[in-house]
Structure 1
């Protein structure tokens, strides 16, 4: 049986063009169960969208 978590999801609307995310000079870490996705300034937002799609399908 899976443990229930207090995680909530938000909808992310991603365009079809591959454009770098605006640089704020700050890194971002997103913990997801047993993994952490680390995003650096200027990350590829389209690649993040692909990663999110894959994680949602698991």
Structure 2
């Protein structure tokens, strides 16, 4: 049982590397989703207007 636990352990440096990669991917994903130019281009010209006009 103890051998099984020690196999799955990683060092602090490895953990920080993994967290850094996830953080970078999250930042890129957030930027792509919330990119203001792209959001502005996809919004309707009059977002508060009456759709039945």
Same fold? TM cut 0.5:
no
Q: Which has the higher contact order (CA 8 A, sep 6+)?
A: 1
Q: Which has the larger radius of gyration?
A: 2
**Please, what TM-score do these two structures have when normalized by structure 1?**
0.28
Structure number with higher helix proportion: 2
Structure number with higher strand proportion: 1
